[in-house]
Amino acid sequence: MGGPFPGLRHLSLRHPPLQNDAAVATLLAHGNGLTWAQAAPVVVDLFVRPSLTLAVCGCFRRELLRLVVSLGELGGSEGRQGRSLSTVAVGVALLRAVEAAPRIRRVVLQHFLETPCPLDSISGGVLPDGLTDLEVARACLRGVRAVPELGQCWGPSWFVRLLKHEVADVRWCCVEAISHIRQLTDYNRERLAHLVLTEEETLGCLLR
């Protein structure tokens, strides 16, 4: 199969530690002899790693829609090494990907019509390994900007709950998301920000 393997080889060259990953090495060794169904669990596992999501998007540009569909099919099932794919990790990966690849918007929207907003994991205090509150909040902000229908689906309440979060950048993401969903004027957005952020915090968030 010519499909995923050029991208996988490119990805392994950009991230040399992957060359020592047994599953990746197996795919590279078999080349066109493997089907997408066999390759998908490994590629999906790489895609949901926060440090690799955007790189996978770039290397698998031609296969991205098929990858996203596979991600939805495998989400919540047992992945390689006997561990389950976290619903939160899947959601965050999709939100980061849709910003880079708007053509997957419909699939992403359908996913979130059937699963909770990833911010639920922050409210519940449980995040999978490798994700922080800020990464989840940033991904959700990117999502409502890239897919306006997501804002209608989620509403502002998920973000309102986190306006008192201890991390200023999380509060800033929530202010921006609420402003986008509610289509606030600049004046009202600044008023909202002033309630939960100091001027120094706002400036720091903008610079980051």
Each residue's pLDDT tens digit, 64-120:
988 988 886 765 454 444 445 688 889 999 999 998 888 999 999 999 998 889 998
pLDDT at residue 91, rounded to an integer = 92
pLDDT tens per residue, range 152-205 = 999 999 999 999 999 999 999 999 999 999 999 999 999 999 999 999 999 999
> Is residue 71 within 8 Å of 87, Cβ to Cβ?
no
Q: What is the pTM of this model?
A: 0.85
pLDDT at residue 2, rounded to an integer = 46
What's the half-sphere exposure (Cβ side, CA atoms, 13 Å) at 7? 24
pLDDT at residue 83, rounded to an integer = 45
Q: Report how far residue 141's alpha carbon sits from residue 111's, in angstroms, rounded to the nearest whole number.
A: 17
Beta-carbon count within 10 A of 34 CB: 19
Helix axes 133-146, 105-114, angle to 10 degrees: 120
Residue scoring higher pLDDT (34 or 52) = 52
pLDDT at 9 over 90: no
pLDDT at residue 78, rounded to an integer = 47
Beta-carbon contacts of 161 under 8 Å, excluding residues fewer than 6 positions away, are 119, 123
pLDDT at residue 82, rounded to an integer = 42
pLDDT at residue 129, rounded to an integer = 67
Contacts made by residues 106-110, CB under 8 angstroms, sequence distance 24+: 107/65, 107/68, 107/69, 107/72, 108/68, 108/143, 108/147, 108/150, 109/147, 109/149, 109/150, 109/153, 110/72
pLDDT at 133 over 60: yes
pLDDT at residue 131, rounded to an integer = 87
- Please name the residue that has the structure tokens 């100091």: 198
> Is residue 57 within 8 Å of 66, Cβ to Cβ?
no
